[in-house]
Amino acid sequence: MTTLVLLRHGETLLTPGRRLSGSGGSNPGLSPAGRRQAQATADALAHRGDIEAVVTSPMRRCQETARPVAERLGLSVQLDEDLREADFGAWEGLTFAEVRDRYPDDLTAWLASPEAPPTGAGETMQQLTRRTAAVRDGLLTRYAGATVLLVSHVVPIRTLIRLALQAPPHTLFRMEVAPASLSTLTYDETGTATLQTLNDTHHLI
């Protein structure tokens, strides 16, 4: 079995307000609460003891989450550009309620089709799915039989889970992935995936 442990970055100042924070926005770092979450996660994963590599989105909030984990594990942090969050275009920094108020037709189209971009030439879910799947395939080849920690964002993590479950695109909006939560996928030698855990936040209590 190859195991991918999916860690969402800790909180930023935008997280409590549920504001869209993608790869086209301000690239915020962790808030004080987020830094505490990163340390608690590092403690939990050090206790787990089986992680052999740490791969992260290059965005600041993910690197700041990955760094204390890697330090506790004695591992280096590998950056992968394709683990970055979606580009939400003109929606960056807005809540869904604000997007619905300002761009109702574009939001409706985006929710209905993975081929529809956010307003302002943002990234489609189809484009994000393609790059996220490529990361997964590369890691399964490079780390066959190992356990790898991926530090990423809401949409890429939900996408990896959706693909593992062979679920339709709209299910992306039907799962919770909280800040600093852990989800776990295993893959057998044929590439068949099993979701072992989803949105585990027990280490943050």
Percent of the chain with pLDDT over 70: 100
pLDDT, tens digit, 9 for 90 and up, residues 7-48 = 999 999 999 999 999 998 889 999 999 999 999 999 999 998
Query: What is the pLDDT at residue 26?
Result: 86
Query: Is the pLDDT score of 82 beyond 90?
Result: yes
Q: 186: domain range?
A: 6-93+127-204
Kindly report the CATH number assigned to the domain that includes residue 72: 3.40.50.1240
- What are the residue numbers of the active site? 9, 85
pLDDT, tens digit, 9 for 90 and up, residues 83-119 = 999 999 999 999 999 999 999 999 999 999 999 999 9
Contact 42, 67 (CB under 8 A): no
Query: Using only C-alpha atoms, what is the Rg of the chain?
Result: 16
- Whether residue 62 is contained in a domain is answered as yes
Helix (H) or strand (E) holding 106: helix 104-112
Average pLDDT, stretch 49-65? Answer: 97
- Whether residue 118 is contained in a domain is answered as no
Query: What is the pLDDT at residue 89?
Result: 95
CA distances for 75 relative to 57, 66, 78, 110, 188, angstroms: 16, 10, 9, 39, 25
Query: What is the pLDDT at residue 174?
Result: 94
Q: List 8's β-bridge partners, or say none.
A: 152
Contact 86, 22 (CB under 8 A): yes
The number of folded domains in the chain is 1
Average pLDDT of the residues of the chain: 96
What is the pTM assigned to this prediction? 0.96
- Whether residue 99 is contained in a domain is answered as no
